[in-house]
Amino acid sequence: MQGTVRLMQGNQACAHAAIAAGCTFFAGYPITPSSEIAEELARLLPRMGGKFIQMEDEIAAMAACIGASIGGHKVLTATSGPGFSLKQENLGFAVYTEIPCVVVNVMRGGPSTGLPTSPAQGDVMQARWGTHGDHPMVVLAPASVREIYDLTIQAFNLSELCRTPVILLYDEVIGHMREKTEVPDPSQFKIIDRKQSTSSPDAYLPYKSDEDDVPAFVRFGEGYRYHITGLAHDERGFPTQNPRVVEAKQRRLHRKVEQRREEIVAHEAFLLDDAEIAIFAYGVTARSARAAIRTARKEGIRVGLFRPISLWPFPDLELEKLAGQVKAIVVAEMNLGQLIYEVDRVVHGQTRIVAYQKASGEPVHPEEILTAVREHR
């Protein structure tokens, strides 16, 4: 089946894709520039028999999502910088208790209230490390309206597959931009649901995993009476301070994401085959990079784009290969240095790294990237 072509806004695409992915619950709190996701789902979810609730604050919205996911729903919340900060504690609860949920953070200028209606890419490290304690995190970064659609579905799938929160991270421009978008037909994508327990209630151990490192789920109220706690817990879900049990759980949490690296890690390579300079960029910055590359190519500069689609886990292996091939990597970000440190770690001196950083609340212009490329050819 063919998809349908529509003029869509990024945030709107996120809402529609959530429904397509099987989302039946949204809890949120108004915040620019993400509110369109809540507004759209307030309208769409009841039609599908789903539930929408505007909570009293960002913390409660995250909490309500986790509660509903424990009740068996696929859940979404959407926010921006200040709200994302507030959600962090409960986000960690979802990681530790292994409750699937998808969180959208439409990045605006910060810190603090910052620039509510302007784009930024300053939450990359917060998305990875915002909640306290040691934990894995899956973060996906779309760069177009269509990609928001696809990665929203992917975010739900990965969250269900790994039983861990997945963050969809994009900037204000991507969220508010309208593009001609081919909305795929449901036959064009797969839907993953969390693994259900096949054991009897008596034998059920809520945190015992199989070889795939993911425990089987049973929603509350099905006769499998069990305990969920944010305290360190054993396979029964009961609190423990046993060092062996605590460490085993910690390692499994990381392993369940690491062992699915091939399913999670994604990047786009654009004109990299013969490139002597690579631009590393994501989100709206990658779109400017693409424009810069087209102009540079006309000038005879062999330049291409490496665009990480999964920011976390980071596409280490893929970028490392590139490092041996180009004489410079221009890292363009709308912050004063975040993912560049990850690039630096992977490149490990194999090639020159050039920073193009902007934190004015304006997107990076193609001309600016072009200038950086010309200087380092």
Partner 1 sequence: MFDYEQYFRREMMPHIWCKGCGNGVILKALLRAIHRLDLSKDQIAMVSGIGCSSRLTGYVDCNTLHTTHGRALAFATGLKLARPEVTVIVITGDGDGLAIGGNHLIHAARRNIDLTCLLFNNQIYGMTGGQVSPTTPEELFSTTSPYGNIEAHFDPCRLVEGAGGTFVARGTAFRTIPLEKLIAEGIQHKGFSFIEILSTCPEIHGRRNKLGTPAEMLQALAKTTLPTGVLRKTSAPEYTEVCEGIIARAQGRG
Chain residues binding partner 1 by CB under 8 A are 25, 27, 46-47, 49-51, 53, 55-57, 59-61, 63-73, 75, 89-90, 93, 219-223, 225-231, 236, 238-239
Please provide the DSSP assignment of 331-357 as one string.
EEESSSSSHHHHHHHHHTTSSEEEEEE
Q: Which of 160, 157, 165 is nearest to 194 (CA)?
A: 160
Q: Which of 223, 230, 208 is nearest to 62 (CA)?
A: 230
Pair of tokens at residue 143: 């760069």
Pair of tokens at residue 266: 């994604």
Least distance (Å) between residue 179 CB and partner 1? 28
Least distance (Å) between residue 107 CB and partner 1? 25
Cα 104 from Cα 78, distance rounded (Å):
4
Cα 245 from Cα 148, distance rounded (Å):
39
In the complex with partner 1, the residue whose CB is nearer, 114 or 230, is 230
In the complex with partner 1, the residue whose CB is nearer, 46 or 111, is 46
Least distance (Å) between residue 181 CB and partner 1? 25
Cα 304 from Cα 56, distance rounded (Å):
46
In the complex with partner 1, the residue whose CB is nearer, 77 or 338, is 77
In the complex with partner 1, the residue whose CB is nearer, 50 or 81, is 50
Q: What angle do CA 42, 264, 149 make, to 5 degrees?
A: 30
Least distance (Å) between residue 275 CB and partner 1? 47
In the complex with partner 1, the residue whose CB is nearer, 47 or 244, is 47
β-partners of residue 354 are: 330
Least distance (Å) between residue 200 CB and partner 1? 14
Cβ-proximal residues to 68 (8 Å cutoff; 6+ apart), any chain:
25, 27, 51, 75
Cα 300 from chain centroid (whole Å): 36
Least distance (Å) between residue 236 CB and partner 1? 7
263 phi and psi angles, rounded to 5 deg: -80, -25
In the complex with partner 1, the residue whose CB is nearer, 189 or 226, is 226
Least distance (Å) between residue 99 CB and partner 1? 10
Pair of tokens at residue 109: 């200028």
In the complex with partner 1, the residue whose CB is nearer, 227 or 345, is 227
